[in-house]
Copies of this chain bind each other. A is one copy, B any other.
Amino acid sequence: MSENYHAMWAELGLDLDAHDQLLQILGNAYEQIYLAQKDRPESMSYFDFVMSEVHGLRIRELLDEKKAGRKIIGSYCVFVPEEIVLAANATLVGLCSGADFAMDEVEKILPRNTCALIKSSFGFKLGKVCPYLESADMIVGENTCDGKKKAYETLKGIADNVYVMDLPQVKSPAGRDLLRAEFYRFKDAMEAFTGSEITVESLADAVGVVNAKRQAVHRLSLLRGHDPAPVSGLDALLVNQVFFYDNPARFTESVNKICDELETRIQASKGVFPSGTPRIVVSGCPQAVPNWKLHHLVETSGAVIVGEESCVGERGTRNLTNAGGSSVDDLMEAVIDRYFKIDCAVFTPNPDRLEHIEEMVKNYNADGVIHYGLQFCQPYLMESIPVEKALEGRKIPVLRVETDYGSEDTGQLKTRIEAFIEQLR
């Protein structure tokens, strides 16, 4: 950190000793995993800076926004519509859920057999080490999987102002009606909470801001399709992770700057790995900061990751919102349309996801797919088997991985990943 933020963290109620330890571990991991990479794009330096200030400068900015009367809304899912939050003059941030913390405390209130992501979100709260969570004026949960749905009931007992959005399970007209009703309920809740009415201007502006952010990531995704890959999967994953909490306009500008640099690289046939390096699409559960485990294992085993079919990746960023509406209702319908397309495994059936994986394999010239499942994540683990069968039926090699945030299985995983990559050569 470029500054001493201890007073700020103390004011947020963080456990300073535990938090210092967390930052130390995070900093070491970043150095060993990110800074150890070769031939990184120079413009990744912005993201290095963001990470070095992940609990510092960005939190100060959020606190400054709060002082100026703006509300901070925290979320754990790509179903929470940033467009509506921004249009109500509030800021949306993704909350910490990518590392194990205070697991002894967590397992007193959640079953041990709960996925790492949910346990982590509770660990950051109970361990008092997530300044985003402590800065948030409202936490917006969502009824996606059973684990999260039931966990939010418990979260209400340990965190303030938890709002839960219901979600459909089927992409039927009734399912869309439910999503519409819930997005309007959320709009009303945001307006009431911020005191800012959502107008056609504010919503159109918000749609424009979020579309621009997604477009920048789409541009980056397409550039990753080139061989040699102009950027590592690790660096692209980081961009997708920072998507959730950076200032949107600055993020968009920074991603476009990377894209400019990658275009120059591509013209010069310059890459981060040699041409012909086996190329992999990762599909499955989200990977929140600092969950860099799979990407690190793959990219230190002789392959490059060229796309993430994940909530932290294209499942979260694909599809823009039609910005052409001339009324709040028009724009709301466009927002609902856009979010109703999200191909999360909580939907039954969920055929769009399989199509999207195949499309990614084709567009990014991938040689195979690694299905990344978090242990005890029923929707993705259940879906991984038919996805594997379908892809294999189309001659796309697949490796199914089931893991958590621990390091106990690293050796075994590396062996399996190396064998899979060998098969792709």
What residues of chain A have their CB less than 8 Å away from a CB belonging to chain B?
109-111, 113-114, 143, 145-147, 149-154, 157, 164, 166-167, 169-170, 172, 174-175, 177-178, 181-182, 345-346, 348-349, 375-376, 378-379, 381-386, 402
Known: A166-B169, A348-B164. A109 touches B385 (CB 8 A): yes
B146 touches A378 (CB 8 A): yes
C-alpha spacing A175/B145, complex, angstroms = 17
A114 touches B146 (CB 8 A): no
Choose one: B110, B146, B154, B157; the contact of A346 (CB below 8 Å). Answer: B146
Choose one: B146, B181, B349; the contact of A174 (CB below 8 Å). Answer: B181
Apart from A151-B382, A153-B348, A376-B378, list 5 A-B contacts with CB within 8 A: A145-B378, A146-B379, A147-B378, A154-B385, A378-B378
C-alpha spacing A146/B138, complex, angstroms = 27
Chain B residue nearest to A400 (CB atoms) is B111
27 sampled A-B residue pairs with Cβ under 8 A: A109-B385, A110-B382, A111-B382, A111-B402, A113-B375, A113-B376, A143-B348, A145-B146, A145-B378, A146-B147, A146-B378, A146-B379, A150-B348, A150-B378, A151-B382, A152-B348, A153-B349, A153-B386, A154-B386, A157-B386, A166-B169, A166-B175, A167-B169, A169-B169, A174-B178, A376-B378, A378-B378
Nearest-Cβ distance from residue A307 to partner chain B, whole angstroms: 24
Q: Which of A146, A154, A346: most chain B Cβ within 10 A?
A: A146
C-alpha spacing A52/B29, complex, angstroms = 63
Chain B residue nearest to A149 (CB atoms) is B348
Nearest-Cβ distance from residue A352 to partner chain B, whole angstroms: 14
C-alpha spacing A223/B378, complex, angstroms = 40
A379 touches B143 (CB 8 A): no
Contacts of A177 in B (CB 8 A): 174, 177
For the complex formed by this chain, how many copies does it contain in all? 2
Contacts of A375 in B (CB 8 A): 113
Contacts of A384 in B (CB 8 A): 111
Contacts of A150 in B (CB 8 A): 345, 348, 378-379, 382-383
Contacts of A109 in B (CB 8 A): 385
Closest 6 A-B residue pairs measured CB to CB? A150-B382, A146-B378, A111-B381, A146-B146, A166-B170, A149-B348
Nearest-Cβ distance from residue A246 to partner chain B, whole angstroms: 31
Chain B residue nearest to A181 (CB atoms) is B174
Contacts of A167 in B (CB 8 A): 169
C-alpha spacing A114/B383, complex, angstroms = 12
Contacts of A146 in B (CB 8 A): 145-147, 346, 378-379, 382
Contacts of A382 in B (CB 8 A): 110-111, 114, 146-147, 150-151, 153-154
Chain B residue nearest to A145 (CB atoms) is B146
Contacts of A345 in B (CB 8 A): 150
Choose one: B114, B152, B175; the contact of A378 (CB below 8 Å). Answer: B114
Nearest-Cβ distance from residue A133 to partner chain B, whole angstroms: 20
Nearest-Cβ distance from residue A136 to partner chain B, whole angstroms: 21
C-alpha spacing A349/B345, complex, angstroms = 22
Contacts of A172 in B (CB 8 A): 166
Nearest-Cβ distance from residue A138 to partner chain B, whole angstroms: 18
Contacts of A111 in B (CB 8 A): 378, 381-382, 384-385, 402
C-alpha spacing A145/B147, complex, angstroms = 10
